[in-house]
Amino acid sequence: MRRNIILFDLDGTLTDSGPGIMKAGQYALRAFGIERDWRELSFFVGPPLSETFAHFVSAENVDAAVAKFREYYQQDGWLDNAPYPGIPALLAHLKSEGKRLFVATSKLDTMAERILEHFGLAPYFDAICGAPEGDKEAGKKVNVVKAALKAAGCDDLSRAVMVGDREHDVIGAHLAGLDVIGVLYGYGSREELTAAGADYISETPEALETLILSTD
C-alpha cells in the first residue's frame, strides 16, 4: 500500500474510549428521563453526538443533550479511556518509515488534543483535526477528513488512506475521495464495515501496520 498520508479516527481506532463515552451518553439521556444501561450505548462511540441524540430527543433538545454529555465527559469521561495495545508502537514505526500521520475525528478538536497529549500520542501527528466548538457542519466526518487532507497539503488522494472502526468513518472518507481501512478491534463489526464499503479490513494494530507498510 503505497500511501504516505495516513488519517486516523480517534475513538475506537487509536484509543478505547468507549466506557467514558457510553457513561456520558447515559448521563445525558437520564437528564431527559431516558434510562439505559451504559453498556448498551456503544453506538455513541464515533458518530457526531448531534446525530446520535437526534434518535432520542426532539430536535430542539439536541443541543441541550450534547451539552449534558460534555458536562460529564469533560469532567470524568475522557479519562475512562486508554490507547489500544500496540497503537503507540504502530505510530512510532509508521513515523520512522516516513509516513505522515493525521487525526480526523468528529470529537471536539480541543478534547481530541487533550486526550492525545495525555496519552503521549500527540507528537506522532502532523495535525489533529476535529470538530470546532459550535460548528456541527464542520464536525461531520467528511469535513474533518477534508480538513486533515488540507492540513497535509494532499493533492493526490491516491497517496492517502483513512483508518477507522465505524461505518461513518468509511462513508465520510469515501465522500472525501479516500480509500478506507476498517479496523475490527474497535466498536464496529466486520458486517458493518463491509456493508459500508470498507476497502480493506484489519483485525489488529499489528495487521494494520503490515497492511499500511505493504506495497500494492
- pLDDT tens figures, 156-193: 999 999 999 999 999 999 999 999 999 999 999 999 99
Q: What is the pLDDT of residue 137?
A: 77
CATH topology of domain 18-79: DNA polymerase; domain 1 (1.10.150)
**Rounded distance between C-alpha atoms, residue 209 and residue 52, angstroms:** 31
Residue ranges covered by each domain of the chain: 5-16+82-213, 18-79
Q: What is the mean pLDDT of residues 103-124?
A: 95
Match 475506537 to its residue by C-alpha cell: 12
Q: Across all residues in the chain, what is the average pLDDT?
A: 94
Q: What is the pLDDT of residue 65?
A: 97
Is a pLDDT exceeding 70 seen at residue 70? yes
Active-site residue set: 9
Q: What is the pLDDT of residue 134?
A: 74
Share of the chain above pLDDT 70, in %: 99
**Rounded distance between C-alpha atoms, residue 22 and residue 6, angstroms:** 27
At residue 130, the 3 state secondary structure works out as strand
Contact 141, 13 (CB under 8 A): no
Which of 163-182 are b and which e, b meaning 16 or more Cβ less than 10 Å from the residue's Cβ?
bbbbbbbbbbbbebebbbbb
At residue 162, the 3 state secondary structure works out as strand
Superfamily of domain 5-16+82-213 in CATH is HAD superfamily/HAD-like (3.40.50.1000)
Residue of 27, 38, 132 lying closest to 73 (CA atoms): 27
**Residue 144: pLDDT band by 50, 70, 90 thresholds?**
very high
Stated pTM of the model: 0.90
Is a pLDDT exceeding 70 seen at residue 119? yes
**Rounded distance between C-alpha atoms, residue 180 and residue 201, angstroms:** 9
Is a pLDDT exceeding 80 seen at residue 7? yes
Is a pLDDT exceeding 90 seen at residue 2? no
